[in-house]
Chain A
Amino acid sequence: MEKFTSITSRVLPLPIADVDTDMIIPANFLTSVSKAGYGENVFRRLRDQDSNFPFNLPQYEGAEILVADDNFGCGSSREHAVWALMGWGIRVVIAKSFADIFTSNSLKNGLVLATLPDEKVDGLLRSASRDEVRITVDLPTQEVRLPGDEVCSFEFDPFRKHCIVNGLDDIDYIMSHRDAIAEFRKAQDRHRYFRSGTSNH
């Protein structure tokens, strides 16, 4: 995972609630067997339908901070949605709330999700749709620094922060508990009531 500490970037506003992962990356673009190349098809259907869709507008090229509305990332569990956003260049999403599986997928790829109060998100969506708005998102201090020296803090799981700031993924951490896992499976085995799939097939 690529490390993340802090970025300052122009805001890309996406004033839509319940953005689902089918919107972020439609199913017919899910056939690649690598993680690369999804960025060019991020929001593909919406971009094809509307030349003014924010991801089509030249002024937002290079923006790394996306601001959306409520319940961002609902629907399918496809991690491809995270790869598509990050492939396009997004490193932070700010919204009123996020769907669960999307949150989990984001954290495992180092896409930083910041939940801000409704009125702050609404304010950012309004101002960034009108003018160029640049903000800073700092993960170690869990702060969003808005124009006019306004600072908003956001909650972030301390373990996840540690992983993202240091570029660590879960496997090494889980494997550091391999003895506990082996012990658990040994104890659990007496309640193993499912038969093997390989032997029967």
Chain B
Amino acid sequence: MSKNIIDKIWEAHEVVPEGEHPAVFAIDFMLIHEVTSAQAFDVLRERGLEPFDRDRLLATLDHSIPTRTNRLQIYDDAARTQVETLRKNCEQFDIPLYDFDKGQGIVHIIGPEYGITQPGMTLVCGDSHTSTHGAFGVLAFGVGTSEVSHVLTTGCILQRKPRTMKVDFVGEFQKGVYAKDAILKLISVIGVGGANGHVIEYTGPAIGKMRMDERMTICNMSIECGARAGLVSPDEETFRYMKGKRFAPTSERWDEAVEYWTSFASDPDASYDREITIDLSVLKPMVTWGTNPGQGIEIDELLPKISMLKPELQDSARKAYDYVELEEGSPILGTPIDWAFLGSCTNARIEDLRMAAEIVRGKKISEGVTFYVVPGSEAVRAQAIAEGLDVVFEEAGASFRMPGCSLCLGMNDDRVPPGKRCISTSNRNFVGRQGTGSRTHLASPATVAMSALMGKITSQEVGE
């Protein structure tokens, strides 16, 4: 019987099959960060246990750390305690910590960067954007702190088998339209709860042609339509990316590994509980207008009339318009912005920085706009500097910063001030997410860079 990749990975990790009780489900790797781990390490201490397998654990700092150059000084007492707590926990339990200047970065950027993320694996982290790793054919999902403690102690969690959903991306992108636009389109079509209870496999010719960074952007935002995970079957592009990475197998085991990894790819006629198709050939750059990632439109569309929306979406649209101070029926194109953010686990890889740098190269961002460029990791930052992108950004008037989650969630010192409008490559536009009273419009790196130049929401191909 033909199977999809989700079924194959599930079956390969069911230690005790599901029945009356959920399955005892094996986790192959867990990434750890400072915000969702402290209480889990307490469980180890309370029970006098040791981590199940130190080689399957890796920690870094990303959420609550400053992105200033002098980031070693953390001014906020609670954030400093949180960072120091992670350091102490990693030391006590002998868990590798990629600390400042030792390979630090956003968990979902460094996992693939080091070749930890390998096809057919199960991977968790106390962070909902763990689905990013799905780009490599990994069943990767966010867990809460209790489950972090379960994995720390046993290497397993209790799971019910998820339903499966296939999202087929057909057609070729028009110029100036990117992976970020494709995933924002999907979320706007099925809504923020549209894939609840499902794991998505992204398929189709457009996915086959994408680089790994683009597939990561797509998988990253799976949670924004409610999917617990999103993944792509591994192919030549996957293996090409992985070769030579620090954790990847060396040449003597490479062929064997590739054969094993390939065995997880979905069979051609595999079936799914649900299937939908998105045609990319007619897609324009997307931008969100409201206060959840499903409230998105193509950049040249008019803001939706409340009365035209499905009844269950009208109330939240009304509240969103109040909050973002935009008017239904008017264009979003040309809306003045105060801030721009290029960063986050969605779009802070070197390819994202290159794309934005090409747009701002030799130009100045609009007067009055603050533009934060926050690389996803120390490696991305070093590569950007090696290519001179830091100079390109700084000369354009942007602030090229140290790696971390930064303005994606405003947990560190980086905040968009009250009442200010920010165009952002991040993944959530919730009320106050980037700072109390701030307004967020999600878009691709190209749209963010172009909007920063013009001081208003705009894109390369669809200008005003």
A residues within 8 Å of B by Cβ? 16-18, 20, 22-23, 26-28, 30-35, 45, 70-71, 74-80, 82, 97, 99-101, 104-105, 108-109, 157-159, 169-171, 173-175, 177-178, 180-181, 184-185, 188, 191, 193-198, 200-201
Report the interface size for chain B: residues with CB under 8 A from the other chain.
88
| CB neighbours of A27 from chain B (8 A) | 63, 409-411, 433
Q: Given A193-B118, A197-B96, is A30 in contact with B35 using a C-beta cutoff of 8 Å?
A: yes
Q: Given A34-B39, A77-B126, A181-B156, is A195 in contact with B144 using a C-beta cutoff of 8 Å?
A: no
Contact of A171 among B36, B47, B141, B431 (CB under 8 A): B47
| CB neighbours of B410 from chain A (8 A) | 27-28
B383 at the interface (CB under 8 A from A): no
Pair B24/A181 contact, Cβ less than 8 Å: yes
- B residues 129-178 near A (Cβ < 8 Å) are 130, 141-147, 149-150, 153-158, 160
17 A-B contacts (beta carbon < 8 Å): A18-B192, A22-B432, A30-B411, A31-B76, A34-B39, A34-B42, A45-B431, A74-B226, A76-B409, A76-B428, A77-B130, A82-B144, A105-B146, A170-B150, A177-B156, A181-B156, A194-B249
- B residues 43-76 near A (Cβ < 8 Å) are 43, 47, 53-55, 57-58, 63-64, 76
Residue of B nearest to A169 (CB): B146
Q: Given A27-B409, A100-B196, A104-B147, is A196 in contact with B55 using a C-beta cutoff of 8 Å?
A: yes
Measured between alpha carbons, how far is A194 from B250 in the docked complex, in Å? 9
Pair A78/B144 contact, Cβ less than 8 Å: yes
Per-residue contact bits, chain B 12-28, to A (CB 8 Å; 1 contact, 0 not): 00011000111010100
- 8 smallest CB-CB distances across A and B, nearest first, come from A79-B144, A31-B78, A77-B142, A105-B144, A33-B38, A71-B193, A108-B146, A77-B128
Which of B130, B156, B228 neighbours the largest number of chain A CB atoms within 10 Å of its CB?
A: B156
Interface stretch, picked from B79-87, B212-220, B269-277, B370-378, is: B79-87
B326 to chain A, nearest CB (A): 19
Pair B312/A70 contact, Cβ less than 8 Å: yes
B341 at the interface (CB under 8 A from A): no
B240 at the interface (CB under 8 A from A): no
Measured between alpha carbons, how far is A180 from B116 in the docked complex, in Å? 25
B334 at the interface (CB under 8 A from A): no
Pair A99/B226 contact, Cβ less than 8 Å: yes
| CB neighbours of A178 from chain B (8 A) | 154
Measured between alpha carbons, how far is A196 from B130 in the docked complex, in Å? 21
